[in-house]
């Protein structure tokens, strides 16, 4: 059993990576393949972090057609996700520093398969003990189930636990799971959104890791 006294759970999109280009491209292309007009980019970006099916339904796709759109999206995304995604500034260094004193995990609404491929692409997969993706739970953030599943898989006992994310859904899930929420405001959150839901708001993952390791 690890003697590290902290566990840090990280969201993925908008927290560790910027996958905006890949998401927008795949969203637009899925509408083209389905013969419909895609929503505006800003509307799509406002929904990043929600499960993919919910994103399509929220932008006007009829419920009975959502799975067809999701299938088209994933076919597009699988061909571009590594090429069109970048690791956010300073993240790799911050994660290596965090891993020296904390146990790390990723908790995301992105599909686990693509999440792992991206973590491997950026050579950071080995830093995380576990990954909880959208297919691993029946209820998504802001419900606490994804966070609680990650902690269970890690054999959580008495460690201090933190959730680092860029949306209020991350912070609300943290609160419901009894985990300290640390927001980073360089992601998809609307201006001042995190101030209403996070215990702490930082400018970057590096700043968030510094705060957590100093607590």
CA Rg value for the chain? 17
- The answer to whether 183 touches 191, Cβ cutoff 8 Å, is no
Task: Give the Å distances, CA to CA, from 66 to 37, 103, 104.
Answer: 15, 37, 33
Give the C-alpha separation, 67 to 187, whole Å. Answer: 27
H or E segment and range at residue 15: none
Give the C-alpha separation, 187 to 189, whole Å. Answer: 6
Give the C-alpha separation, 106 to 203, whole Å. Answer: 19
- Hey, how many other C-beta atoms are within 10 angstroms of the C-beta on 125? 15
11 a catalytic residue: yes
Question: Of 11, 13, 18, 185, which one is the catalytic site residue?
Answer: 11
Give the C-alpha separation, 93 to 159, whole Å. Answer: 23
Which residues form the catalytic set? 11
């Amino acid at each position: 059993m690890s003697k590290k006294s902290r566990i840090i759970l990280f969201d993925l999109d908008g927290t560790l990576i910027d996958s905006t280009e890949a998401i927008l491209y795949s969203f637009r292309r899925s509408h083209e393949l389905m013969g419909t007009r895609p929503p505006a980019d800003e509307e799509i970006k406002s929904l990043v972090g929600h499960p993919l099916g919910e994103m399509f339904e929220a932008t006007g796709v009829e419920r009975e057609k959502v799975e067809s759109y999701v299938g088209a999206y994933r076919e597009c995304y699988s061909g571009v996700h590594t090429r069109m995604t970048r690791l956010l500034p300073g993240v790799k260094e911050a994660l290596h520093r965090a891993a020296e004193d904390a146990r790390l995990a990723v908790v995301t609404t992105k599909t686990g398969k693509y999440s792992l491929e991206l973590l491997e692409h950026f050579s950071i997969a080995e830093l995380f003990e576990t990954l909880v993706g959208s297919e691993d739970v029946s209820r998504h953030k802001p419900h606490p189930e994804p966070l609680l599943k990650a902690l269970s898989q890690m054999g959580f006992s008495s460690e201090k636990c933190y959730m680092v994310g860029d949306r209020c859904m991350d912070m609300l899930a943290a609160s419901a799971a009894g985990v300290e929420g640390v927001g980073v405001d360089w992601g998809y959150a609307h201006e001042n959104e995190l101030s209403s839901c996070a215990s702490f708001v930082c400018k970057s993952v590096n700043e968030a890791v510094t705060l957590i390791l100093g607590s």
